[in-house]
Structure 1
């Protein structure tokens, strides 16, 4: 009997970790079948094959591959929106965890800034801001993400949360280091055009000689070097933009792990600074990096949404199975008690029927008559013996009298 083709959503969920990267570009039926058979011992894949056949699973996978569903979580979300749904409770938990992470990151960056070797005296003296110099020691571990755990409804276990989202530290470090280098080059070029005296004063003769955080301090002092209309287009206060660039430098240099939310902000602010410095080459490079980074971050988020949604569905199904097992257990105990009572009643009824059967009654009557006859014989014998004795006494008395 021919089996029905599987649901595309189930095939996507079962095979998404197989067809990824270059494997997601597979189109040849033999290649697709070989990849699926290689992982057919996986429970999800095994059940699909058992229920729908390997041919049907391969055909459905081929359709999804041709439509590039495995290549992009965005396309997958459009195709299967329910798979990526997030509950209001999950959204609230994520917002809380991301807010906590943001505070931890800010403290870590501040600690890194206050603990670093001071810049050259002339820059520090000219740009010292209010509120600086407060004593506070923040360890590097403050920026390390802590494992967040939360309980799922109907589940007796707590599972690790996949939020906040982080890039791998190596990837983050390379990205921010690249951005820092691009910006420092743009800053030096801008300085050569508009602030040669500052370059000479600081002894900066190449892009590598002036770090981004020091350029931020210089730009704050020489704010007049920037066009007013371009400053208005920043979308945020100039000082806040420069603070962001300082934080970017500290994060890159001190290897502080930060969430993708902060990385996104770093990328936006970096592009804004590049345009303010009127370095179009730098701005275009940063714009491309920002877009690629954003695509990767969006993929990460959607994948986490999918995983959490799938886990919630799995736990819900397990909870239903657990309730069914509890019901079966209760039913089994109730059946045992009921059957025991029924058999007790059956055994008692049988015994009563045996007691009240005609054969038992006849035997009972016969037994009673025999017992009565025996008692009568005993009485007669006793009576005869007594009478004989009494008569003998009378005969003896009469003879004596004569």
Structure 2
């Protein structure tokens, strides 16, 4: 599999070996080095051994070399782009924005890093590194929680739909903030020349709300810092076309609804609530379909693994039989040759009857030539021929 497309098998291999290929080891591209690093690793290798047993050492090694060649062990960002669910973000409902160190790893900006300039300038500065960076809203593991229910499994909407949804959330919140400004900040709106919702980007509203502590909130109370950080990230994700999974979308929508409640505008609360419910229904359908596909995939992989194990067993059985037959034939051939050698006996001169038939070299050389055989006879024959 040299296409470079990530698979669930590659993900399992990466998780089983990510602690082995660190530092300079992550830069290796040679089979011998891969084997040596695995052999020298003193940590837990049970997962790797299980993969080798199930799929074969060669297939696992090919996957490791492919992951190494794409730089997954060298860059957390690359690893997350291949396997978005590897990024785990723990937090409360409002803590959607990852911690600063996680945000920097994935190429996201923290609220402190959000641009002071216009959105176009920010886009020019970061589009080269963030165009395809995914934002993960949670852990994709399917472990059971305390209530015995599986947590939400992140899935991805088609990017066109996802981007439309993020733009819709952004514009709705900007309109809600603008309506709030007209009601409670008319002097500031007039001074800044903010005469339409499009004149003020969402991040400016979040900074304004965070800076002014004496604002009047008609809704559920003053917005928290975490809530404002999440709202700022909504605009950032929409502008920079960041990939967001279903869990991230759910949290963004929840926080957008919370901000609308803080602003105290029932119209926007209802609009965002409907968006969240429709998105949740779609996500549930996708999750159900994904679980079905995953189950089918696992069943197929288990069946393949059984067949592979059976083929390996048969191969070993054939090899053992071939080795056994080879040993038997070598033994029979050896016995046959041994009997032949025994019948021949030792090669030595004997005084018995068999030895009497052997003549020495001296005897042959001293044997006189018969008188009947001489050169004169030949001469007479040639003379007769000439006379004829």
Choose between structure 1 and 2: higher helix proportion.
1
| Length-normalised TM-score, structure 2 | 0.48
Tell me the TM-score normalized by structure 1. 0.47
Larger-Rg structure = 1
